[in-house]
Chain A
């Protein structure tokens, strides 16, 4: 089970995540990002399912791809995500299934618009357990 916390940044906001394996780390990062976007008390459905398949040149790049992919699904497809299941990360290739529900007009569960996950201070590394840090543009 991944653990995440938000970290302070003057203009923006970041998250730090720890997990026992890479899959959980990526799931935790998604939940961390979601905790910025959505009111934590919200109840979000899971009726819509989206398959995600991504690759990148390195592991930080894959995390950047993953989080920005989720932002794209929410912003362009209008799906408020709630469940992130990373099925596998092998050779810098990620397969995942994410679930959520349609964003409603006048939605009151949304808190903060995350414009993007950035490369700034982006870290994915194994420190006993896996660790990641991401700074978002909000």
Chain B
């Protein structure tokens, strides 16, 4: 049976086109990377309409795109990718409130059998060391002077305080710092919210997870990333916390005024934006870089406490446990990047809202260690199934402005998950499968149940099939610390 979705044209096995006529006002087509099951899931809520809405923004280049983990967001769809040329715009809603939310992966020399026997104790040590959940202040007091350093210096600013090693920067996107940050372009409120949340995990879908490398798909690439089968890794998922939320809130209001002043007609107010050559856009990009740097510093500090927890638990320095950073990627961003448009290298503002950069070997943004291999792409799955490490692919530069998916993507609303799944039963079920989970509240655990998410393996397989990234390794969860 061939699936038909009204108005959508299947271009190839994993690529669907939404022609300009799909919704009045579209300037470019929409492109969704998906198989039949995922496109059908996307058509059940308003995600496709959101792809069409983004296609109406001025100066959008090529197409409004969505990755296979697409679902209904606010403004942009989650999984949305859109690039804008010089006559285009930047939209805070195309980045989201959790600016530079992302993932980092830490490897180790430990094997599953080294960690499994004392796993419950290790989880308890991590729970004590890592500030998480709602209403929890951080362990770093960040007065304005330090926050200014964090906003401009990113991960480096906290490494200088002793939270990590210099070498970590070589394995962090942008070498740990977004350039162009101006700490005078963020409001006093951003400083107020950022002051006691540095080095905190937050809540919702944020987590720290102890994992084991279950399967390798590209052993040579995995080797270059420092990964091998049976080895224990730690994944950290968090973002820019209240500081980032406030930057987005502040600049949405600024952009809303710009839209009114210029008389722009938008299909959704959350798509408020400003021309890239306007002072408002310049201010937002400078504030966005501050928030992104806060996120990088936040994940750096969180990793420091993960390392400290392992040191305490194994009574060994983390260096001798081989706890090196594999990579850190952000999946809520807008960045100036160079891409080929009609064969010409062109500077574009690439928005990725729940999408990850996927740069191929030789890309100038890659650190020396990965320049011949390609960019590590870290994909958190759900807590009961798996996460993946992918590698950037050349095709992504042609197909998706060097982008791929960011996770499994939700399929069930939080309230439905809470109604249909009992948190305690879920915790017990996962434990029977060898996955320990510690969460602030069992009832909240249900929101993040595996059933609430799409099949992450399907999502990454579609990315591979569409040429956006290649699978390197599959990681199985062992212990999850929920925010």
Contact = CB atoms under 8 A, between A and B. Distances in A.
A78 to B, nearest CB: 7
Contacts of A116: 97, 245, 248-249
Given A10-B45, A119-B268, A113 B189 contact: no
A90 interface: no
Nearest to A60: B269
A14 B70 CA distance: 19
Given A61-B256, A75-B242, A105-B137, A120 B97 contact: no
B209 interface: no
B444 interface: yes
A62 B192 CA distance: 22
Among A6, A71, A137, chain B packs the most CB atoms within 10 A around the CB of A137
A128 interface: no
Interface string B243-265: 00110110011001100100000
Among B73, B74, B252, B440, chain A packs the most CB atoms within 10 A around the CB of B74
B480 interface: no
A1 interface: no
A93 B71 CA distance: 36
A127 B257 CA distance: 27
Contact of B269 (A10, A68, A110, A119): A119
Contacts, number: 122
Contacts of B98: 115, 137
A108 interface: yes
B441 interface: yes
Contacts of B97: 115-116, 118, 137
A11 B135 contact: no
A120 B135 contact: no
B135 A8 contact: no
Interface string B389-432: 00000000000000000000011111110000000000000000
B134 interface: yes
A47 interface: no
A76 B193 contact: yes
Interface residues of B, number: 49
B135 A110 contact: yes
B414 A120 contact: no
A137 B136 contact: no
Interface residues of A, number: 41
A11 B72 contact: yes
Contacts of A76: 189, 192-193, 242
Interface string A102-121: 01111110111101101111
Given A75-B242, A78-B135, A104-B135, A11 B193 contact: no
A11 B416 CA distance: 11
B134 A13 contact: no
B193 A68 contact: no
Contacts of B78: 11
B72 A115 contact: no
Given A105-B137, A108-B441, A118 B415 contact: no
B413 A75 contact: no
Interface in B88-114: 93, 96-98
Interface string A52-94: 0000010011001100100110011110100000000000000
Contacts of B193: 72, 75-76
A50 interface: no
B257 A57 contact: yes
B441 A111 contact: yes
B272 interface: yes
A112 B205 CA distance: 10
B135 A57 contact: no
Nearest to A102: B135
B74 A111 contact: no
A46 B382 CA distance: 39
A138 interface: yes
A119 B74 CA distance: 8
14 contacts: A10-B45, A10-B411, A12-B414, A37-B134, A107-B133, A107-B136, A113-B134, A116-B248, A118-B74, A118-B270, A119-B93, A119-B268, A137-B245, A138-B414
- Name the 3 nearest CB pairs between A and B, nearest first: A120-B74, A119-B269, A110-B134
